[in-house]
Amino acid sequence: MSNERLIYLALGGAGEIGMNAYVYGYGRPGKERLIVVDLGVAFPDMDTSPGVDLIFADISWLVERRDRIEAIFITHAHEDHVGAVAHTYEKLKAPIYARKFTANIALRKMQEHGHPNDAVTVVLPWPQTVKAGPFTVGFLPMSHSIPESSAMIIDSPEGRVIHSGDFKLDETPLVGEPFDPDVWAEVSKDGVKALICDSTNVFSPNPGRSEATLGPDITNLVQSAKGMVVATTFASNVARVKTLAEAGVRAGRSIVLMGRAMKRMVEAGVETGILTDFPSTVPPEDAKSIPRENLMLLVTGSQGERRAASAQLARGKYQGMEMKEGDLFLFSSKTIPGNEKGVIRIINAFSELGVDVVDDSTGLYHVSGHANRPDLERLASIVKPQVLIPMHGEHRHLREHVKIANGNGMTGVLAVNGMMVDLSGNQPTIAEYIETGRTYIDGSVQIGAMDGVVRDRIRMALNGHVVVTVILDDADEPLGDPWCEIKGLPETGTSRTSLVEVMEADLGQWLGRAGAKILRDDDKLNEGLKRVVRQSAFDEIGRKPEVTIVVSRLS
Amino acid sequence: MSNERLIYLALGGAGEIGMNAYVYGYGRPGKERLIVVDLGVAFPDMDTSPGVDLIFADISWLVERRDRIEAIFITHAHEDHVGAVAHTYEKLKAPIYARKFTANIALRKMQEHGHPNDAVTVVLPWPQTVKAGPFTVGFLPMSHSIPESSAMIIDSPEGRVIHSGDFKLDETPLVGEPFDPDVWAEVSKDGVKALICDSTNVFSPNPGRSEATLGPDITNLVQSAKGMVVATTFASNVARVKTLAEAGVRAGRSIVLMGRAMKRMVEAGVETGILTDFPSTVPPEDAKSIPRENLMLLVTGSQGERRAASAQLARGKYQGMEMKEGDLFLFSSKTIPGNEKGVIRIINAFSELGVDVVDDSTGLYHVSGHANRPDLERLASIVKPQVLIPMHGEHRHLREHVKIANGNGMTGVLAVNGMMVDLSGNQPTIAEYIETGRTYIDGSVQIGAMDGVVRDRIRMALNGHVVVTVILDDADEPLGDPWCEIKGLPETGTSRTSLVEVMEADLGQWLGRAGAKILRDDDKLNEGLKRVVRQSAFDEIGRKPEVTIVVSRLS
């Protein structure tokens, strides 16, 4: 029996969909050499993270072990896998490996942050491998909704582990490599210790459909349209963007790309040689002179993002283009849970303009990039891993995936963020529980999700904010009356007089009665003022606001 | 030709789903006698209305014409139709008419607010009618997901108008009256001027299913469950609550009602004689002594509401009950757009407890309470109105419904909130555009959506809040340094020193250089301080916060 162990640890992505960050280690306990797979972001929302720009996994655990990190591998160029590489580079300074297209996107991010170009190394696909300490790692092509998505073939002295990355089993993906069952059988034939596997679509009961099935229906739709056609999808879904563009061309329309991400992704596709035969496009400024029935715009904003091209078109003009009665808008995309309201807002805005909106409810114009339940079972049956550990899913997805694995005679392990799994020996065990969390990118600053900053914002949003100012003279006596400023609170309450005046009167009365002992003691004074103003507000407007007390002593 | 006119005006509910408030009027322009149909609420969300408790339509237009309001009619007891009756009573003081069950719910609201009991009058269903000025109004029973939902048969000297209320065409609704096509043909046979019609499910292509189809599948599910079964649905869906309870009884389980609304609705059903044979229930305190495999709890919280019974069970104990591995939780409900995240949060929490969750994705355990497209067409084909005006829908629903009506040879009119339609004569016309809006119930206060109160809350949530305090002596010279308090902002920025200290230094410097002209002028001083502190914050943390300036002059 060896002293070394092989470990798996999710810092993000296992128990949520988003901000993927997985760690593998090999070595003596506490001395393992480490590799990281994916460093992605998640997106904020008003409910839990107002004002925040981006979210990624708390990497404190890695930072403390920085000298043991051999490399970072990025499976593909989706933001939830690659989005945090530049934000974490200063702290980790580990070499980053990715395939050409992914590296292109990663490098753009690194450059924006002024990080060195040589931090990212381009790797050819399997069978080429990268040596990283005790690990040998290869990028096995996998179909997904972005080019060059890859599974990681991770070899260690304890055997082979396969990290699926995001995938679907598409044998005709149009752009990028098809799923090849023979290659998968080949890499699995000598035994696979563990398959760490995407779980996003575990609740979808039917086999997934190929990207290739969409072309004819999208073409029919565009051909039958009378006015301008505008279509949106994730810009990174280069195959879809191409399918849409080709449908437009077939319908005799000029193609216009709108939105930064749309242009960037097509550019990256062309630069890296993936998108060799993308139809020629027309710049937005030239599009204005083309009759609208001869135009097809491909725009960003499939999730209803307020600043994306789709939302701007819904509100009015965007880059000189405007939608009108009789135009068609196509969502060649699925709405991610949580984005429904934003998407519906856009659909209603288009409805007001007289634009017809087509979404994916018929199933004709969108297919998912993730493997459905039968596909997950098919891959597992090819790989035949000793252990299956679901990842890339909320708790409900992971639990369901474990159930399915167990039902098929495999050993499924439910490991959420922070549960370090020891894969050595015959039976996987939970070796340790690591504290995990979220880091917020907030303007130009990184803050911890639990720092209280965002909590205070939420409280101000829910309760409003009162600022109380009191000046005390050098004898610790109040100089004049206390006064209040309010923000996010109604000006008048039940007594129908000014809320500020009522609070000031109550505070003045309390201050007048407060003895020297309280007036000299900052804490007691603060506490008393806060209590009085909150009660005063509650009596007037039925809620207790957030309070900031400013006491100025002239002594 | 008459000088009088018949008008229709939506103040809420046409252009949104929620806060229904419709007005009909008859008389000389500007002198019409008015009736109101429904006064409902909408629910706030963190994105647009943080801290708000409830929302209802701005009734200023009605308040200004209070002396012309004959009556308020409530079609059914859902919150989006009856929720605002008590909140608006002081301002409108018009008699309220409703059927027995609806009146029971309305009266509970009135009593909570200390309004008189006799403000609500119970009306028997059609053919009984109420005389209200120039109108004669009857409640024609209609099936929906709550008992006694009714269409309003509104007769005026200009002819008959039918306001559908919320409905589905259910001939076996289990509780409440079935849809009766013969009665509808009868009330329509002499010609109907206009059908104002529910549009919620206009995008659902298949005929709706009856409430009666659910019983067997729910019973099978409960019978096959091994542990405790907990089911949630809208409490007001009394038929569903009964179906669930009966399934529990058939499976040999004791029924426990949990959550205030659940108990209140069943109580109202029994009090009004609608729910004559509801199975006997066990109080939660007695349930603890019953083996869990013999229990079925019916709980509130089908939309993931944080304080409802379902969410509390997901987080731990509720009224002494606790869910465990092997228990089953059933959502006999659909998730309303916008509530997805809350519902998913609960499902994941149950997953962590090892509880199996069943939702409506199979279609076996829930049916909608609204008419689908073919049902809408069927009703219209029976009523054969001169004009069809869609209501109870977002813009996209209304627009689609108009298209369908026009496609079927009717005259569809798209009238959103504020568009007053003149139904007199042969062709409907838009008579006026009325300013509409939303009123927020915020603690114990009512505020206008556009008052800026909630806008300030949202801004504080997105940008944080800085309070700057400056004291000027009697010569208008700064007394000491300015100081800052922050809320919702990171403590340190890019310079890695305290954000507050950096801002205070910048402010001090600016104040030192500011001349007497600025120091004596409150506006200039405020503006300057605000500009400096925002720029200072932006340099440090990359965002410009909300700022409150407090200048104290000792003069």
Tell me the CATH number at A90: 3.60.15.10
Residues of chain A contacting residue B467, judged by C-beta atoms under 8 Å apart: 467, 485, 548, 550
Closest by CA to A22, choosing from A426, A507, A418, is A418
- From B198, B202, B194, select the one nearest B410 (Cα to Cα): B194
Angle at B133 between CA B131 and CA B135, to 5 degrees: 60
Distance CA A373, CA A203 (A): 6
Mutation target vs A (from B325, B348, B398; most A CBs, 10 A cutoff)? B348
Helix, strand or coil for residue B105? Answer: helix
Q: Which two tokens stand for residue B236?
A: 């007001």
Amino acid A253: pLDDT: 97
Q: Does B337 lie in the same domain as B395?
A: no
Q: Give the largest Cα separation in chain B, rounded.
A: 88
Of B15, B340, B488, the CB nearest to A457: B488
Pairing outcome for strands A385-391 and A192-198:
parallel
Q: E-strand spans in A228-319?
A: 229-232, 254-258, 295-299
Contact at CB, A444 and B554, closer than 8 angstroms? no
Cα A516 to Cα A519, A520, B223: the distances in Å are 5, 6, 71
Interface probe with B: pick from A345, A471, A487, most Cβ of B within 10 Å: A487
SS3 B271: helix
Residue A1 is predicted with a pLDDT of 46
| Claim to verify: residue A306 and residue A381 sit in the same structural domain | no
- CATH number, residue B528: 3.10.20.580
Domain C-terminal end among A362, A382, A411: A362
Instruction: Kindly state whether residues B200 and B67 are assigned to the same domain.
Output: yes
Residues of A in contact with B485 (CB under 8 A): 467, 548, 550
Query: Last residue of a domain, which of B448, B479, B498?
Result: B448
CA–CA dist B239, B221 (Å, integer): 18
Domain span holding position A273: 215-362
Angle (nearest 5°) at CA B123 between B121 and B128? 145
- For residue A504, the chain B residues in CB contact (below 8 A) are none
d(CA A427, CA A446): 39
Domain-located, residue A38: yes
A383 touches A191 (CB < 8 A): no
Strand partners, A153: A138, A162
User: Could you tell me if residue A453 is inside a domain?
Assistant: no
In a domain, B265, yes or no: yes
Q: Do B543 and A47 touch (CB under 8 A)?
A: no
Q: Is the peptide bond before A490 cis (omega within 30 degrees of 0)?
A: no
The single residue listed with the structure tokens 């289990």 is B174
pLDDT reported for residue B176: 87
- Domain shared by B244 and B193, yes or no: no
Q: What angle do CA B72, B73, B75 make, to 5 degrees?
A: 150
Cβ B443–A51 below 8 Å, yes or no? Answer: no
| Within-domain flag for B126 | yes
Decide if A325 is inside a domain. Answer: yes
Distance CA B184, CA B490 (A): 64
Test mutation, B396, B502, B544, chain A, max A CBs within 10 A: B396
Contact between chains at B338 and A341 (C-beta distance less than 8 A): yes
pLDDT tens series, chain B, 555 aa: 458 999 999 999 999 999 999 999 999 999 999 999 999 999 999 999 999 999 999 999 999 999 999 999 999 999 999 999 999 999 999 999 999 999 999 999 999 999 998 999 999 999 999 999 999 999 999 999 999 999 999 999 999 999 999 999 999 999 989 999 999 999 999 999 999 999 999 999 999 999 999 999 999 999 999 999 999 999 999 999 999 999 999 999 999 999 999 999 999 999 999 988 899 999 999 999 999 999 999 999 999 999 999 999 999 899 999 999 999 999 999 999 889 999 999 999 999 999 999 998 888 999 999 999 999 999 999 999 999 999 999 999 999 999 999 999 999 999 999 999 999 988 999 999 999 999 999 999 999 999 999 999 999 999 999 999 999 998 999 988 999 999 999 999 999 999 999 999 999 999 999 999 999 999 999 999 999 999 999 999 999 999 999 999 987
Mean pLDDT of all residues belonging to chain A: 96
Q: How many domains is chain A built from?
A: 3
pLDDT < 50: residue spans in chain A: 1
Q: Write the DSSP string, A357-409.
A: EE-GGGSSS---SS-BHHHHHHHHHHH-EEEEEEESEEHHHHHHHHHHHHHTT
pLDDT at A314: 96
Contact B444 A494 (CB under 8 A): yes
- Judge if A19 and A152 occupy the same domain: yes
Residue type, B20: N
Residue B550 has its nearest CB partner, among A348, A485, A494, at A485
Domain membership flag for residue B509: yes
The residue among B308, B342, B362 that closes a domain is: B362
B351 burial type by CB count under 10 A (0-12 exposed, 13-18 middle, 19+ buried): buried
Same domain, B200 and B79: yes
Same domain, yes or no: A109 and A28: yes
CA distance B87 to chain A (A): 14
- Tokens representing B414 are 């798209």
Identify whether the C-beta of residue A267 lies closer than 8 Å to the C-beta of residue A226. no
pTM of the shown model: 0.95
Kindly tell me the burial class for residue A490, based on how many C-beta atoms sit within 10 Å of its own C-beta (0-12, 13-18, 19 or more): buried
Same domain, A128 and A160: yes
Classify strands A69-73 and A54-57 as parallel, antiparallel or unpaired. unpaired
My answer on whether A239 and A275 are in the same domain is: yes
Integer Cα distance of B346 and B348 in angstroms: 5
Rounded-to-integer distance, Cα A270 and Cα A272, Å: 5
Interchain CB distance below 8 Å, A347 and B444: no
Residue A454 placed within a domain? no
Shared domain for B427 and B315, answered yes or no, is no
- Give A-chain residues touching B399 at CB under 8 angstroms: 351
* A457 within domain boundaries: no
Question: Which pLDDT does position A2 carry in this prediction?
Answer: 56
Same domain, B83 and B167: yes
Q: Which residues of B touch A469 (CB under 8 A)?
A: 469, 550, 552
- B340, B376: one domain: no
Query: Which burial class, exposed, middle or buried, applies to A84 when counting CB atoms under 10 A from its CB (0-12, 13-18, 19+)?
Result: buried
CATH number, residue B354: 3.40.50.10710
B362 CA: distance to closest CA in chain A (Å)? 11
Residue of A146, A140, A138 lying closest to A78 (CA atoms): A146
